[in-house]
Structure 1
Amino acid sequence: MADSGSKPAGGRALRGRAGRMKNGRGSGRASSGAVRLWGRHAVEAALRNPDRTHRKLWATREGVASLDGELPADFPVEWAQPVDLARLVARDAPHQGLVLECEPLDDVFLSDVLEGEPERPILVLDQVTDPHNVGALMRSAAAFNAVAIVTQDRHAPPESGTLGKSASGALEIVPWIRVVNLARALEEIAEAGYWRIGLAGEAEMTLAEALPAGPVALVLGAEGEGMRHNISQHCDSLARLPIDEAMESLNVSNAGAIALYAVATR
């Protein structure tokens, strides 16, 4: 382990008690229910998020120097070498010299976003369980000004370092609403005035043809299976992306990004 008493680049001491890392590789979620985030964008966004409770930062000198801004003087930092940090994250994860342990974000409720900005789309995910895909969709949601992502709690990945790295900071920006019943959530979305469009490769209309002028909720299903029948029944229309016949389908995160772009530029 590196020492804990010297100063980082910039000359300002970062106080924090050094300890020994436990052996074993991390999964992104600490055993105590906390979440470990890694990578500069994910860690920096979490540090800037006033709604995030932080516990501890493991870091290299170079990792802290790469942050945009300075940590509070009393922030708990444990200086480490890259090989030490690799034991705290998923295998071969690019931690970039930064691993932050923090509390999960507080729950966000559907009613919190339905009365806000109807010109911003909602992204609904039906059984999209890969954290890389959910993180990438969250990043696209932030890029194209979506108001929230909605998932069913039992069929979505937990908040984790892998998801946070794929989201590249968007985990701290886009409200993530986890519901018990996705069909009921779609009913609430409709009652709030949103037109629910499910993406389906077999649909007759293209997304451009199906897009209305008003509020939109885009519904995406898992790769391979697509939306469940009950979820497609809760959509006002089904639409497809006009991809070439030579390619059967797109990765769900790519499809989501294209659909969000279409809404932003209609």
Structure 2
Amino acid sequence: MNRIKDNRYLWIYGKHACLSALKNPNRVCIELLITHKFIDKNDPVIKLAKNRKIGIRDVEIAKIDSLVGSKAIHQGMLLKVLPLFGRNASSLIRIEDIVAQTETAPTSTILVLDEVTDVHNVGAVLRTAACFNVDAVVLTEHNSPSESCGMAKASSGAIDIVPVVCIGNLVKTLEYLKQKNYWCYGFDASGETCLHQVDFSERRVVILGAEGKGMRHLTKKHCDHLVKIPMSEKMESLNVSNAAAIAMYSVFLGDKSS
């Protein structure tokens, strides 16, 4: 992961992730490291960095490898940033902010991950969320990963597109969202309703639990509907990022056809 000594910062790597971070006005960017070999091939990155008056350093590829590891697919560029959420975050987004921003929208989708711990799964879920117009992804403060360079890479830049809200008490958050006319749909292998039978409300919260244990008991109790994804008996479950993609596509498709 991040090998830099000052752990206040992250190194975001790869073209898509760096471009997305530079385009995000809420992202504090400090410095761009880029190898000479890739300078001409990545003009948009250079241009954005110059427009934001961010320092640019031409370095050897060995320098980049030393910071993020030689196995990282960094495409010859690293962007030093402050994290958007988790430890040492530059700014914190509240769930109240998301509700206020979407108050007049015809539909609103909030995706909740109940103690999903895998960095790459969270990154993949963020990418899915960006694809299907999710307004925010909610993570629990405990048993959820902080932002990392691996998560940013797995999200392919979506980490700078979809707001991430970190909350201390998921039950209270769900109760608050219900007061704001959201309906809660928990995805569970033992759910009583199949996904294709669900008519999602205009304001909805989709909740997914960690692989294996799923949603916690109290989280389930606060769901208005428990939904299952029908699948063959050859496998017991889906990876949480795959389940999120299926769920978000279903919600998105319903909006398009209504």
Does structure 1 residue 111 correspond to structure 2 residue 96? Answer: yes
Which stretch shows the higher mean deviation, 56-65 or 164-173?
A: 56-65
Match of residue 31 from structure 1: 6
Q: Distance in 1 between matches of 2:122 and 2:134?
A: 14
Match of residue 50 from structure 2: 72
Q: Distance in 1 between matches of 2:3 and 2:130?
A: 22
Does structure 1 residue 59 correspond to structure 2 residue 37? Answer: no
Q: Distance in 2 between matches of 1:230 and 1:139?
A: 28
Give the letter aligned to residue 107 of structure 1. Answer: L
Match of residue 76 from structure 2: 97
The alpha-carbon deviation at position 244 of structure 1 amounts to 1.2
Contact 1:28 1:37 (C-alpha < 8 Å) held by counterparts? no
Instruction: Please state whether the residue corresponding to 2:207 is helix, strand or coil.
Output: strand
The alpha-carbon deviation at position 56 of structure 1 amounts to 1.1
Q: Distance in 1 between matches of 2:231 and 2:238?
A: 8
Give the letter aligned to residue 193 of structure 1. Answer: N
Q: Distance in 1 between matches of 2:41 and 2:145?
A: 29
Q: Distance in 2 between matches of 1:153 and 1:61?
A: 40
The alpha-carbon deviation at position 64 of structure 1 amounts to 3.5
Q: Distance in 1 between matches of 2:162 and 2:66?
A: 29
1:58-207 superposed matches below 5 A: 58-67=33-42, 69=44, 70=47, 71-72=49-50, 74-90=53-69, 92-105=71-84, 106-115=91-100, 116=102, 117=105, 119-207=107-195
TM-score of the superposed pair, with normalisation by structure 1: 0.85
Higher helix share: 2
Match of residue 15 from structure 1: none
Kindly tell me: are residues 91 and 182 of structure 1, through their superposed partners in 2, closer, same or farther at Cα, counting changes over 3 Å?
farther
Match of residue 88 from structure 2: none
How many aligned residue pairs are there?
241
Does structure 1 residue 257 correspond to structure 2 residue 236? Answer: no
Contact 2:110 2:137 (C-alpha < 8 Å) held by counterparts? yes
The alpha-carbon deviation at position 131 of structure 1 amounts to 0.8
Structure label with greater radius of gyration: 1
Q: Distance in 2 between matches of 1:63 and 1:182?
A: 44
* Cα shift readout 1:91-138 (whole Å, capped 9, x = no counterpart): 611111111111122110001111313613110000111110000000
* Structure 1, unpaired ranges of 5+: 1-25
Instruction: Please state whether the residue corresponding to 1:154 is helix, strand or coil.
Output: coil
Give the letter aligned to residue 114 of structure 1. Answer: V
TM-score of the superposed pair, with normalisation by structure 2: 0.88
* Structure 2, unpaired ranges of 5+: 85-90
Instruction: Please state whether the residue corresponding to 1:264 is helix, strand or coil.
Output: helix
Kindly tell me: are residues 174 and 251 of structure 1, through their superposed partners in 2, closer, same or farther at Cα, counting changes over 3 Å?
same
Kindly tell me: are residues 65 and 156 of structure 1, through their superposed partners in 2, closer, same or farther at Cα, counting changes over 3 Å?
farther
- Runs of 4+ in structure 1 over 4 Å off: none
The alpha-carbon deviation at position 143 of structure 1 amounts to 0.3
Root-mean-square deviation (Å): 1.7
Q: Distance in 2 between matches of 1:195 and 1:177?
A: 18
Kindly tell me: are residues 132 and 30 of structure 1, through their superposed partners in 2, closer, same or farther at Cα, counting changes over 3 Å?
farther
